[in-house]
Structure 1
Amino acid sequence: MTLITLVLGDITRQSADALVNAANSSLLGGGGVDGAIHRRGGPAILADCRRLRAGHLGRGLATGGAVATTAGELDARWVIHTVGPRWARDEDRSELLVSCYRESLRVADELGARTVAFPAVSAGIYGWPVDDAARIAVETVRAARTGVEEVRFVLFDEAAYAAFAARL
């Protein structure tokens, strides 16, 4: 069974086998967690992302998908990039958010990662209500068949931390 832990803080300051990046489909950096990971991780992450875009991900990474790159200067071996869905009041996109966690754990298993740190995917600039994002994240990780020993949710503020704590 996978141990689930919570941390209030900055995901770029975590030490883990893999850090999950809430990326945009371009994989070329952006705001929020994505921008922070690219800034702190340095140019090696962007270089790997550009290689992926020049290859099989020429059109970018699909929402719900996941792919790994080097972690550059971060205290991790890999960054697993996943593209979360934007929240929409008139359309249920929860399966895409579930896919972000499942696919990230699948990639982590392929890499042999034992510790994985996740942000609250889609709960920032993509507007997903944090209580629902927490429910989906925790339920999906609990149900996952994975070799990952610890999933750490690194939460950016006290409201997100409280939402995830309520689900544990």
Structure 2
Amino acid sequence: MAKEDDPKKCTASKLIRFNLAEPIFKINGIPKNSIVLNPFSENLLSKEAKDLSQILVAIDCSWNKASNFFKRRIKGYNFRLPKLLASNPIHYGHISVLSTVEALAGALYILGYKERARLILSKFKWGLNFLILNEEPLEAYSKAKNSKEIIILEEEFFGKKFKSKEYNVVRD
């Protein structure tokens, strides 16, 4: 946890308070055999990754500082999520500018842990709306055999869009 955001709005902190996540305060504390959600990774998360590890790590940092943070080498299996719509109040409707809980829930859903995804989202007023907004893509991504299939699905659902220079993620 980088502790860069407003603590009242920090989804990672709330997950920790509900004992649904464990904090890691230093980057070298990330287990080397973990699946790390990295929005700048070239590797796309698919259910193929499920066999790599039972540890899922989301880095909680401000989107304003994310590109600098993720330039560092982060041990573990780094993957980016396929394109999804944010349902959080700050970035609602933006493609791939997700909160920590949305990123974790998206990964859990794709990896086959759908009930766990629902559980963590249920702790937020707007949380389950993430599943409603992304119902079709999440279901399709979770059924895809590999990342090549997910790339095709991303284009079907979201088309080819420009990349934002600010965040280096796809935006509307």
TM-score, normalised on structure 1?
0.31
More relative contact order, 1 or 2 (CA 8 Å, 6+ apart): 1
- Structure holding more strand per residue: 1
TM-score relative to the length of structure 2: 0.30
